[in-house]
Amino acid sequence: MPDSTSVAAERADYYAAIKPQSMTPLWEVMAGLVTPEPSSTTQAAHWSFAACRPHVLASGELITAEEAERRVLVLENPGLEGQSQITTSLYTGLQLVLPGEVAAAHRHAATALRFLIEGEGGYTTVAGERVAMHPGDFVITPTWGWHDHGNGGNEPVIWLDGLDIPIVKLFDASFAERSAEAAREPTERPGAAQARYANGMLPDTAPAAKTSPVFHYPFDRSKAAVGAAEADACHGQRLRYVNPVTGEHAMPTMAAYLSRFDAGFETQAYRATDATVFCVAEGTGESQIGDQVFHWAQGDVFVAPSWTWRKHRADKDAVLFSFSDRGIQEKLDLWREDRGNQA
């Protein structure tokens, strides 16, 4: 029987011989490809808005919205350095629009979401309708939809951007185009989408769009709805943003939620395959993600990696916005959750 040294040498020669044919032996890499449980380079991480805000505002003195096209500081996961990703499937950043500025109209294959953190006077134009944005509002930009942003107020506006850019890149399906117009003229009256689709009624000609035609979910309405929801042991009072035409997630690739916790409420341990980004809309508290504890306040952003245990506790009444790639995971029959000691 050949000794281990000669076997290793023979195999090394074989691997060298097949390399010019762009082949590699599966048995050498299978353990890393097909893992018993999710194994991700995404790390639990936390961005304090109080610490990030001065840098976001300073970017307004460094570069104009016109030069930057989108003046955004990317929230880059420490486990994905240099990749402009907060998880392996999602992009997130903090965008600044100063008073009087316009972020020029463009469109792209990636679906985008906005969650306003600070400031009044901001607006965005989606599907021909110009929408005024207020803190806590959730806004969707559908794939390949023209959109511009602006600030008609007297104070800086900062919001959270979330896009499925890494998913689009995975499929090599990225397209982008800039409009010849800095701001596209609205073709719909204000509130048109809300009137058509957000009142428990639908027009007979409701489009079978995969992205919600509402595209703007005001915080006051969403918060009131969540406040009336039954509390869940793992999620508190939580509701998902939906496409009212289909009842599915508001976006085809991403799922978005709003959760509320009474002061002192602590969730039970929970994990799922969708790495999740959280943004604090109101209140203070802490979250344990794996073996790390993050203390959070309004505007903070933190991320829970795939299949990592997490728990939340509110010090004061709190509201959390969250989003993940659960939308596409469910469509591919990949999503799985573990509710700990819950039946």
**Side chain identity at residue 207, one-letter code:** P
Which among 293, 305, 324 has a CA at the least distance from the CA of 42? 305
Other C-beta atoms lying within 10 Å of the C-beta of residue 325: 25
Q: Which of 36-50, 108-122, 178-192 has the lowest mean pLDDT?
A: 178-192
Compute the Cα dihedral for 72, 78, 84, 87 and give only its sign: negative
* Residue owning tokens 């009256």: 189
**Which tokens is 21 given?**
């044919």
Compute the Cα dihedral for 15, 18, 22, 28 and give only its sign: negative
Q: Provide mean pLDDT across the span 127-137.
A: 95
Tell me the pLDDT band of 343, cut-offs 50, 70 and 90.
very low
- Taking the CA atoms of the chain, what radius of gyration do you get in angstroms? 22
Q: Provide mean pLDDT across the span 162-173.
A: 98
Task: Find out whether 93 and 72 touch, Cβ atoms under 8 Å.
Answer: yes
What is the per-residue pLDDT across 64-107, written as a single tens digit (0 to 9) for each?
Answer: 998 999 999 999 999 999 999 999 999 999 999 999 999 999 99
What is the per-residue pLDDT across 175-234, written as a single tens digit (0 to 9) for each?
Answer: 999 988 878 889 999 999 999 999 888 888 887 889 999 999 999 999 999 999 999 999
- The per-residue b/e assignment along 308-321, b for 16 or more CB within 10 angstroms, e otherwise, is bebbbbbeebbbbb
Q: Is 214 exposed, middle or buried (0-12, 13-18, 19+ CB in 10 A)?
A: buried
1, pLDDT greater than 80: no
Distances (CA, A) of 287 to 50, 188, 230, 305: 18, 42, 21, 13
State if pTM tops 0.85. Answer: yes
DSSP three-state, residue 342: coil
333, pLDDT greater than 80: yes
Q: What is the DSSP string of 276-305?
A: EEEEEEE--EEEEETTEEEEE-TT-EEEE-
Distance CA 48, CA 236 (A): 23
Which among 327, 321, 283 has a CA at the least distance from the CA of 302? 321
What is the per-residue pLDDT across 253-284, written as a single tens digit (0 to 9) for each?
Answer: 999 999 999 999 999 999 999 999 999 999 99
Give the list of residues 6+ apart from residue 85 with CB closer than 8 angstroms, or none: 76, 77, 91, 165, 166
* Residue owning tokens 């509201």: 319
Q: Which of 140-154, 162-176, 185-199, 327-341 has the lowest mean pLDDT?
A: 185-199
